[in-house]
Chains A and B, each alone.
Chain A
C-alpha cells in the first residue's frame, strides 16, 4: 500500500515536533498532527489519512479509544494503524496488535529511520 498522508496523534509536544521533522522533512509524508484523540476525530474526516500513527498513553482518550472512535468513521473503517509507544512490554504490544495495529514502534525511535520503518511495515 502506498502511504502519503499520515494522521499522527500524541499529547507530547516534543514528540510531535520530532515526528513532524522526521516524517515531513526526512520521509516526505503529508502529516496531520493532533495533540489528542478528540482533535484527531475532528481533523480526520477532512484530512482523509492513509495511515494512523497513534501514541498509546494519552490523557482522556488513549490510543486504543482514539482508534476505535476513528474507526467509527466510515471512511476510516479499514484504515491501517501503527502505534508509537513508550510502553514496550510484550503484553501491551500484543494487545495493540490485537486491536488491529500493523505494528508497534517503540519509543524512543530514531527520527532519521522512522519513515523507513513505517514504509517497511506498510509494505
Chain B
C-alpha cells in the first residue's frame, strides 16, 4: 500500500473515489441495460400494437366489403335495377334501411343508375335514418366516385379516399370523415344497371387508431398517400388536405427523414432522435382477404393514391421520460448505495485506523518499554544521576518541551531532576502556587493533567506557566514508601491529551523515581547507621584503649611493687600473699588483653600481618612454653609435626601463636592426668603444590565438655556449666577469641569431646602459601650481609626525621650517597636536579602530596626511569595494589633492614661475596 494511503483520512478519500468510479461504471452499465430493455420493449410493443391494429383494420375493412357485396347481390336490388318498379324499390329501400340500422356504421346507401341518377338513397346520419324522396334525388354523374365506380366490372370494388363529408359545398360540421365504397350492379341478364355506393362513417375504421389505453403513450397515426393525417395525436394536424390553409400539415414536413424512409419501404421500424416509428404501408383493397381476389384491379397510380400509412410512434418524449426515470431511479439507488458504502467505508477506515493505531501504539509501547528497561540497566549507585536519567526519559517519551522532578526540601521546591530546562529556569523556589506543589500537597493519585494553562488559575500563581508559555502540564506524584515527597512532570507549549500509554509511562517512571528515592533514603540511613556504628565502635575502641591504658598504669604499679616486695620479703606467708596479688594482677591483665582483642575483632579492625615464618619452630616453641606447666601437672605434652608440613609458611605468626597458646593452655588447665597432644599436618591441593590447608589439633585426656556446652563455650564470657571458675579461673573469652581469630584466618575449628575422657580441638586453616620463601629466606639471611653495591645515589623522601635516619642508618655502611627530602615537592626538585639511582618515598593516608610527587616523577621524561620504592605507613591496609601499579616496589613500615636491602638490591648494581659487580 502506498505510504500516503496509510493515513486514515487519505485511505478514506482514496477508497471513496475508487468506489465512486466503480459504482458509476456499474450503474451506467445497469442504466444502459435497463434503458435498452425498455427501449426494446417499447419497440416490440409498438410493433405488436401496429400488427394488432392492422388486424383490426383488416377486420373492419372486410366487414364493410362483405356488407357491400351482400347488398350488391341482394335480389331486391338486382330486380329493381332491372325493373325500377316501385315495389322493388320499396323492398330495396327497406333492405337498405334495415341494413343501416343493423350495422350502425354506415351513413348512407345509394343506388345510382348507369346514367348517374340517384334511384335510391337512404341516410342514416348517426341513427336518424331517412329515405330521400325521389324528388330530392340528384344526378351524380359528374362525381368522381360515380365516374370511377361505373367503370368497374362485376365483383370489383371501388374504394374512395377517406375525406370529410361535404354538404352544400362545405365541410360538414361536426366533421364527418367519410369512406365510400362502391360496386357495379348487374341485372339477371348481366347487364350493368348502375352502382351501389355505401358511405361509411370512417370513424369506424379510424377508431382503431384511437388510444384505448391511457397508459399507452404511443402515438398511432393513419396517413393517406400524400402523408396527410387521417388520424393523429393532434386533432389540428388531421385533414390538412381538406383545408387550403393546412396544406403544409403533413407527416413529411414534420418528420422529413422518417418520411423518406417510410415511403421507400413496405413496412418496418425506424429509430431516430424523434423516437421509434413502426410503419406499415396499407393498400385497402389488399385488406379484403377473400374478397381481394375479386377486387378490382386499378392501375398502379390509382392504387398508390388509395394507400394508407399506419404508423405507431414511440415518441422521444416517452423514451426521454423513461430514460430520465431510469436515471433518477438509478441515481437515487446509486446515492443510497454510495452513501451506505461511504458510511461503511468510513467506519472501516475508522476501525482500520484504530487497529493501525493500536498496532502502532503497541509497537511504540514496546519500544518505549525497551527504552525504559535499557535506561534502567544503565543505573548506577548514583541515585541523583539515575533520577536525572528517568526525568530525561519522561521528557523524551512524552515529547514535552521540558521535564522536571521537583521535591520539597527544607520548605523550598527544588528541581532535583531536569531535562531540557531553560537556561534561566530557577530550580529553587517557594512552593506556593506551583502546580507541582499542588500535586504533592494534594497527594494526587495517577496522572494530574492540566490543559489550557494560560487560562487557568496557574497562569497567575505559577511563574513558569507564563514565563515559558506553557499550555499543558502532565504530572505524577512521587511516593517514597507511603509519603508523597515530590512530583515528576512533563510540560508542553500546546494543548495535548495524553494517551493511555503515555499515562502508564509517566506512572512507571514516577514509580522508578520513587524507588530511587527509597534507595537513596535507605543508603543515607545505612550510611548514618554505619557511621553511628562506627562512631560507637570507635568510641568503644577508644574507651577500651583508654581503659586499658588507665588500668595498665596502676596495674604496673601494683605488679611492679609486688614484684619488688617479693624480693624484699622473706616471710613465706607474706610471699604467698604477694604471689596471690601477682597472680590476680596477671589474670586481670589477661582479661584486659582478651577484651581488647575481642573488641578489635568485633569492630572489624583486626588485620592479619602475613609473613613467612618457620612453622616447625612455632609448634616446638609452644612445647617449650608449656613443658614446665605440663611437667608440674605430671602430664605428657606431645608435639607431632608431619614431616611433610613445610617448614616455612606465610601467615600471621603472632595470631597463630595466640590460637595455639589458647588451645594448649586450656588443654593443660583442664587435664589432670594423661597427656596433651599437639599435632600438625598439611592437606594438599590437587592442582596447586604451592598452597595447602594447615591442619592442627590439640587433644587432651581432661575432664571433657558436655554435649550441650560444646557450642556455648565459643560464645564470649560463657564457660561450661560445670566448669569451676574458682578451680580453673579464666575469663571465658579465650575460646571465643580463638574461634574468631581462626575465622579471620578463613579457617574453622571443630570440637569432639566426651565427659571425663577428654577433648580434641581440630583446626583447619585454608589456602596457605608454602615453600615459596623457604630457600630464598635462608639464602637471604646468609647473603644480604655480604652484599657490595656499586656506588649509587639514593634519595629518601619522608617527613619524619627518624624514619629518614633509620633508613640512612641501614644503608650508610654501603657505598651510597644518601640524600634526604622532607616532602614531595622537595623530593621532585631534588630528583630533577640530581637524578638519583633509587628513590624511597614514604606515603601516608590522606596525604596526597607524595602521591602527586610519584606521579610527576613517573610522567617526567627525565625521571620516569628512576626506580621508586614507596614506604607504606603501618595503618594503610588496602591501598597496596594501587601503589604497586604506579611504583616499582614497596615496603611496609616499620622498615625491616633485610627487606630494605633486598628491595635496594633489586634496582641497584651489586655483587655478592667475591662476585664482580
Question: Which residue of chain A has the shortest Cβ distance to B607 in the bound complex?
Answer: A90
State whether the Cβ of A14 lies closer than 8 Å to any Cβ in chain B: yes
In the complex, how many residues of chain A place their beta carbon closer than 8 angstroms to a beta carbon of chain B? 30
Asked whether A98 and B553 contact (CB < 8 A) given A88-B548, A89-B596, the answer is: no
Contact B563 A107 (CB under 8 A): no
Contacts of B893 in A (CB 8 A): 94, 97-98
Contact B596 A22 (CB under 8 A): no
Partner of A111, one of B564, B800, B803: B564
State whether the Cβ of B604 lies closer than 8 Å to any Cβ in chain A: no
Contact A91 B874 (CB under 8 A): yes
In the complex, how many residues of chain B place their beta carbon closer than 8 angstroms to a beta carbon of chain A? 35
Partner of A100, one of B805, B873, B875: B805
CA distance A95 to B557 in the complex (A): 25
Partner of A90, one of B555, B564, B803, B874: B874
The total of Cβ contacts below 8 Å across the A-B interface reads: 98
Asked whether A108 and B589 contact (CB < 8 A) given A86-B553, A87-B549, the answer is: yes
CA distance A29 to B415 in the complex (A): 75
State whether the Cβ of B894 lies closer than 8 Å to any Cβ in chain A: yes
CB A100 to nearest CB in B, in angstroms, measures 3
CA distance A18 to B561 in the complex (A): 6
CB A24 to nearest CB in B, in angstroms, measures 12
State whether the Cβ of A116 lies closer than 8 Å to any Cβ in chain B: no
State whether the Cβ of B567 lies closer than 8 Å to any Cβ in chain A: yes
Contacts of B560 in A (CB 8 A): 14-15, 18, 21-22, 108-111
Contact B894 A111 (CB under 8 A): no
Contacts of A57 in B (CB 8 A): 549
Contact B806 A100 (CB under 8 A): yes
Contacts of B803 in A (CB 8 A): 98-100
Contacts of A22 in B (CB 8 A): 560, 564
CB A28 to nearest CB in B, in angstroms, measures 15
Contacts of A99 in B (CB 8 A): 800, 802-803
Contact A71 B556 (CB under 8 A): no
Partner of B563, one of A12, A78, A106, A111: A111
Q: Mark A3-32, 1 if CB is under 8 A from B, else 0.
A: 000000000101101100110000000000
Q: Which of A71, A107, A111 has the most CB of B within 10 A?
A: A107
Contact A100 B802 (CB under 8 A): yes
Contacts of B550 in A (CB 8 A): 86
Asked whether A107 and B564 contact (CB < 8 A) given A71-B801, A100-B802, the answer is: no
Contact B557 A18 (CB under 8 A): yes
Asked whether A98 and B874 contact (CB < 8 A) given A71-B801, A109-B556, the answer is: yes
Asked whether A21 and B564 contact (CB < 8 A) given A89-B596, A97-B894, A98-B803, the answer is: yes
Contacts of B674 in A (CB 8 A): none
CB B818 to nearest CB in A, in angstroms, measures 15
Contacts of B806 in A (CB 8 A): 100
CB A68 to nearest CB in B, in angstroms, measures 8
CA distance A37 to B548 in the complex (A): 23
Q: Hey, which bits of chain A sit against chain B, CB under 8 A?
A: 12, 14-15, 17-18, 21-22, 57, 71, 78, 85-91, 94-95, 97-100, 106-112
Q: Hey, which bits of chain B sit against chain A, CB under 8 A?
A: 545, 548-561, 563-564, 567, 585, 589, 593, 596, 600, 609, 800-803, 805-806, 873-875, 893-894
Beyond contacts A14-B560, A99-B803, A107-B555: 20 other A-B pairs, Cβ-Cβ < 8 A, are A14-B561, A15-B556, A15-B557, A18-B557, A21-B560, A22-B560, A22-B564, A71-B802, A86-B548, A86-B549, A86-B550, A86-B551, A91-B874, A97-B893, A100-B802, A100-B803, A100-B805, A106-B552, A110-B559, A112-B564
Per CB-CB distance, the 10 closest pairs between chain A and chain B, nearest first, are A100-B802, A18-B560, A14-B557, A94-B874, A86-B552, A108-B556, A86-B549, A97-B894, A107-B556, A111-B560
